[in-house]
Amino acid sequence: MKKYLKIVLFGFFTWLIAFVVSFFIFPLKTSQRPLFESIMAVVVTICAVLFAVRYFRKVKASFLQEGVLIGVVWFLVNVVLDLLLFMEGPMKMSFADYMADIGLTYLIIPAVTFGLGYSLQKKAARPPD
């Protein structure tokens, strides 16, 4: 149970950090949209890497499975929390518009976690030097 709570909390923090950054740089969305989008992609990537590295510190085996698990859960946490704001909140976006504008950016998360899990799995399978 503690493991799954940690996974969901890390997913929440990846979303929260990106949300806070987007709040502060929101004026760029209208004046310099490409810069806004680039900053957000970098923020999501940094969060995914930092939380994945922290998560994998306690993992001893099945690295790829763990990477897939956290990547999928964190992606879903981020999208679900966003949808609460963007579909029902003040923004009123359709699901298709949300995915095209914001949601696809969150695919960075499983790309990072799958990659780290795969890399750690390969390293663990190699015989020691």
Pair of tokens at residue 46: 């940094």
Pair of tokens at residue 98: 């949300």
Pair of tokens at residue 20: 């806070």
Confidence (pTM): 0.92
Domain extent, residue 61, equals 2-125
Query: What is the average pLDDT value for the chain, to the nearest integer?
Result: 94
Looking at per-residue pLDDT, the higher value among 87 and 110 belongs to: 110
Per residue in 82-100, pLDDT tens?
999 888 767 788 899 899 9
**Do the beta carbons of residue 45 and residue 95 sit within 8 Å?**
no
Count: domains in the chain: 1
Alpha carbons 48 and 46: distance in angstroms, whole number: 5
Q: CA-CA-CA-CA torsion for 78, 41, 6, 85, nearest 10 degrees?
A: -20
